[in-house]
Structure 1
């Protein structure tokens, strides 16, 4: 299940003729980090800074996002966390440069990155929510996932014997259709992405050595 990814870059944003993003966001996103979510309003396409991981109105705090960053399409109406969003058709996309999954080689997990071969960003289907905790307004989102047991690329990820899942990627030519979809029945969008347009490679996580404050003083 996707828990780490790189959001859209400035160059990719311009290439797709998307609106300017007026807020900062990290180079890599993990659960409970902020990310740029694209959705449709009466003014057209708009960006919102949202947290990665759904925070429903009944949650006691934002830590629930560590468990709600992926939403299975098969159980959206069975999970209280996602029921309000799917019922009200709160659809958006998370534009991504690359996302990461674990592939087990000789029973050891390796981080692999999935990206488009042409270098363009791609759109991951998402639900979003807005709620209030005390005086704080919280905007959050979750990636919608699907079964991947038969997907040529995604079936090779996750621990052997574990359930195989994949994010749902909205094709570029269906972006507007998805963002303006007004039915909770999203079955027409649940398709595995075309393998021939994507590639995956081993992407080891970079280890950052800690430098003492004393050494930093001389930088």
Structure 2
């Protein structure tokens, strides 16, 4: 389960998306993403072209949980139950797929005998994409908003990801998309075919390091409109 990650900086979007994105340089988001924070995601528009959005982390933002209902987390969607869980199933069956760009994500490591935050990223420090789902909401001011979740799979046997989470707990890993699969994932329009992308990224192309937590950044409250990248 991942609840915190580092998105690319605005000046890194050209490198991440492979096209000029000066249109979005006035957007802003915290340097680390936590529940209900805004962060960039990539999805496709009506012409099947990449589209960049700022979206709220967590499929059901806390502000949309009805009064009296116990607060629940939807930052991660388990691949095994994604087609049945009420929070995720509608978006999954409509293949509202997104790719979440990041430079690393964080997990707890207990190898020292106590929880220590570790960063996990690519061996070459390159930005990468994680498979996710998105949905839209009508916000209190009447404007549309977008939220997203990241998809996880069992990692009990993954050489790197099995090192994280509490001893005895099931190990989970985000679905890191190989660069050559990102566009195919985004354009996939059948849930059964989408499942073929839900597999592990090679451990030898990843790395992990101790990363003590920094103070949390202030949430970004303004949700801008989305736009086409091409």
TM-score, normalized by the shorter chain, greater than 0.5: yes
Corresponding residue number in structure 2 for 1:201: 209
* TM-score normalised over the length of structure 2: 0.82
1:27 aligns with 2:35: no
Distance 1:105 1:136 in 2: 46
Pairwise CA distance, 1:188: 1.0
SS in structure 2 at match of 1:77: coil
Pairwise CA distance, 1:12: 3.8
Greater relative CO (CA pairs within 8 A, separation 6+): 2
1:54 aligns with 2:54: no
Distance 1:19 1:144 in 2: 28
Corresponding residue number in structure 1 for 2:113: 107
Corresponding residue number in structure 1 for 2:88: 82
Give yes or no for contact 2:65–2:71 (8 Å, CA) kept in 1: no
Distance 2:36 2:94 in 1: 23
Distance 1:97 1:64 in 2: 32
SS in structure 2 at match of 1:179: helix
Q: Of Structure 1 and Structure 2, which has the larger fraction of its residues in strand?
A: 1
Pairwise CA distance, 1:113: 0.3
- List 4+ stretches of structure 1 deviating above 6 A: none
Give yes or no for contact 1:39–1:46 (8 Å, CA) kept in 2: yes
Q: Which runs of 5+ in 2 are unaligned?
A: 217-230
Pairwise CA distance, 1:174: 0.8
Corresponding residue number in structure 2 for 1:211: none
Corresponding residue number in structure 2 for 1:40: 44
Give yes or no for contact 1:99–1:114 (8 Å, CA) kept in 2: yes
Q: State the number of aligned residues.
A: 207
1:129 aligns with 2:147: no
1:168 aligns with 2:172: no
Pairwise CA distance, 1:78: 1.6
